[in-house]
Amino acid sequence: MKHILFVCTIIFSFTLYSINKASGQPPLTIGILTDVQYCNCSPSGPRQYISSPAKLDSCIAFFNEKKASAVFHLGDMIDHKYISYDSMLPRFSRSNAPVFFVLGNHDYMVDDLMKDSVLRKLNLPNPYYTTTIGNWKFIILNGDDLSYQAPMDKERKAERDSIVLLLWQSIRCNMMPWNGGVGKLQVEWLRNELSLAQEKHQQVIVMCHFPVYPADCFNLYNDRQIVNLLSEYSCVKAYFNGHHHSGNYGYRNGIHFVNFKGMVDTPVNSFALVTLRQDSILIDGQGRETDRRLKVEGGNLEIRTRNEWNDSKPSTTK
């Protein structure tokens, strides 16, 4: 009997080794939060500005406990006062994992004299950039490239005005001044980064403050252009964003578009621990954020019950 148990143990161990080897890279766990949007202000509608510091502290402590490999904030760290950065940035510095910032529209809603210093304040050499962890490449877009808040040159202002005019003429509601767009130079940079990722057989998650899909009044000005571009590359598995505090979800051409809920809204916190596997994206929503189990197409499949996947409906919110 002991001999049989020993043999079974060896077979089971070899099976686990084979599964892990076939699945390639080990799972990667990252923290996601968005729209902390702090200011020392009275509540406005659902926005509980003064509660954001305590919520952020709880969020970072949770990510540290879970040993997240990286933390991404998807924009709008502050609401409108530059001094608010001094309350938020020290809290992010308590993260044991590196923190990556995405620029939001409220991040530039400060005095005109301070707009040029926002990037330095956030320690961002560039407003859009990439980072790679394991086989996952994260492409961080700057949706303030064409906006009414961030400083920009004449060429980008003209590009912005041209796109917004077309949106007005088409009666599309995302032409509002609190949204933004991705300029043509950044679009070419994005295409190049996607091509490089495709050549290296990397899996890609694109992040931006503004949504692009489904159609929404909070979307980027050139949302359709970005969706069409991303759809050309099978390496793109997901697009993560904030901005629309209520959250949203869409699926198109093998890409999951996940709009995470804003932390600033309601007394209840909202953030997520996201586990990235070759064949799945598992979103463990905290507070108001939704749990999601998303299948990654083209990934190496692990042995797993198929009814765990949910590509179109969010599960019950915690």
CATH code of the domain containing 225: 3.60.21.10
* Structure token digits, residue 113: 């004299």
At a CB cut-off of 8 Å and minimum separation 6, what does 155 contact? none
Instruction: Name the least confident of 23-27, 108-112, 184-188, 243-247.
Output: 23-27
pLDDT score at 12: 36
Q: Are 138 and 193 in contact (CB under 8 A)?
A: no
Residue 176 pLDDT class (50, 70, 90 cuts): very high
* Cα-based distances in Å from 127 to 32, 141, 149, 313: 19, 8, 14, 33
The count of structural domains within the chain is 1
The model carries a pTM of: 0.87
pLDDT (tens digit, 9 = 90+) per residue, 276-303? 999 999 999 999 999 999 999 874 333 2
Considering the domain boundaries, does residue 275 fall inside one? yes
Considering the domain boundaries, does residue 6 fall inside one? no
The total number of residues written for the chain in this structure:
318
Considering the domain boundaries, does residue 15 fall inside one? no
pLDDT (tens digit, 9 = 90+) per residue, 219-245? 999 999 999 999 999 999 999 999 999
Residue 24 pLDDT class (50, 70, 90 cuts): low
Instruction: Name the least confident of 17-31, 56-70, 232-246.
Output: 17-31
Instruction: Name the least confident of 3-7, 73-77, 273-277.
Output: 3-7
DSSP for 160-215, please give it.
Answer: HHHHHHHHHHTT-GGGSTT--B--HHHHHHHHHHHHHHHHTT-EEEEE-SS--SS-
| Strand ranges across the sheet with 255-259 | 129-133, 136-140, 203-207, 236-241, 255-259, 248-252
For the chain, what is the mean pLDDT? Answer: 89
Residue 197 CB coordination number (10 Å): 21
Which residues constitute the domain of residue 84?
A: 25-308
* Structure token digits, residue 56: 């952020």
Considering the domain boundaries, does residue 285 fall inside one? yes
pLDDT at 313 over 70: no
Considering the domain boundaries, does residue 19 fall inside one? no
- Average pLDDT of 57-82? 98
- Average pLDDT of 130-137? 97
pLDDT at 147 over 80: yes
pLDDT at 214 over 80: yes
pLDDT score at 315: 31
pLDDT (tens digit, 9 = 90+) per residue, 87-123? 999 999 999 999 999 999 999 999 999 999 999 999 9
Considering the domain boundaries, does residue 5 fall inside one? no
Considering the domain boundaries, does residue 11 fall inside one? no
Residue 311's nearest CA partner among 263, 250, 266, 269 is 250
pLDDT at 15 over 50: no
Q: Are 283 and 272 in contact (CB under 8 A)?
A: yes
Considering the domain boundaries, does residue 163 fall inside one? yes
Residue 308 pLDDT class (50, 70, 90 cuts): very low
